[in-house]
Amino acid sequence: MDFLTLFAVYVVVILTCIALVCKYSGQQQTPFGVIFNCISRVTAPFVPVWLQRLSQRSLHGLFHQRNRTFIYLHLLLELLAYGEFSYEVFGFCRDMDTTLTSLSVPYILLAVKTYLFYLCITTDPGTVTQEKMSGQLSIYPYDRRMFHPGVPCPTCQLVKPARSKHCRVCDRCVQRFDHHCIWVNNCLGARNTRYFILYLMSVCAMAGSMALLTGDMLLHAVLRSGLLRSSYMDGQGQRQQAGPLFVFQHLFLTFPRIVFMLGFLVFVCLLLAGYALFHCYLALVNQTSNEWYKSRGMVCQHCHPNNPATSADSHCGPAPDRSRRHFYSRGMWRNLGEIFFPLCPVHKKDN
């Protein structure tokens, strides 16, 4: 496989992953699930039963139970990216007279991101408890579309405050539930959504700064080597002027790890930038991911196998009513203030 084919496959895979994640995020039926089910049915007769059970338990524990696997994976990918950046790119940039101030930006952003990552993992998202329930019930009114008064959680046996939801992974009801994030091994709710949005922004800035410095280093390497003014002999023995494809191939063969790292950084930056913008939009209109999915009709097929428009006592809520999608919006600035300064429960004084 020549360079151009390999590079084209690499780009197509990255763009396809971005498109699929953006299109099918939050949906119950996705191409990944369909493909996995098809493969499982085809390979089931040839795979030992014990191995099937082991794989099912492993996948269930990985995606449906709290574990730190993705936290460690996150740290490993970060270590590899920063290791390559520090080992090769940093030295090349210093040789090209890049200022230490510019080179320190990714490390400053790493410290900020690490702190926000820690807060996302350790901060209680707003767990609904018997002691706090009376105050939590008074924070938000019930819209009587997705959230109805007096509906108990079938698992916790507590009355569900408006905008709350029971997380099956964490086994708790969460105030202003957004979603469960496997990368931070925690639910995102009223108390830690602000940290998650800032965390997404910091990762985007971190990947973007490293990508810019790496791209600048590769550009200077091309300009200093005089590749744009060089020529080469093609397969027919004809002299050809070096063009962009020749330069890309030269960079790939000369700096293979740096080029792949740059592609990974661009992928992470673009993917998380879109995800961060989505959450910023939700913050501006005072809506959670859970409410956004419901408003688009993305109800759980396990809870509503035959009729999505079931009663409000179901786990996932009633069928969406699009007449008032942004019921809890109070204006852009007040919505943002609610994210970064969460509303506190109202405690009634005993007479």
- 3-state secondary structure string, the chain? CCHHHHHHHHHHHHHHHHHHHHHHCCCCCCHHHHHHHHHHHHHHHHCCHHHHHHHHHHHHHHHCCCCCHHHHHHHHHHHHHHHHHHHHHHHHHHHCCCCHHHHHHHHHHHHHHHHHHHHHHHCCCCECCCCCHHHHCCCCCCCCCCCCCCCECCCCCCECCCCCEEECCCCEEECCCCEEECCCCEEECCCCHHHHHHHHHHHHHHHHHHHHHHHHHHHHHHHHHCHHHCEEECCCCCEEECCHHHHHHHHHHHCHHHHHHHHHHHHHHHHHHHHHHHHHHHHHHCCCHHHHHHHCCCCCCCCCCCCCCCCCCCCCCCCCCHHHCCCCCCCHHHHHHHHHCCCCCCCCCCC
Catalytic annotation present for 181: yes
Q: Say how far apart CA 141 and CA 163 lie, in whole Å.
A: 9
Q: Helices 100-122 and 69-84, interaxial angle, to 10°? A: 180
Catalytic option among 181, 204, 269, 316: 181
Catalytic residues: 181
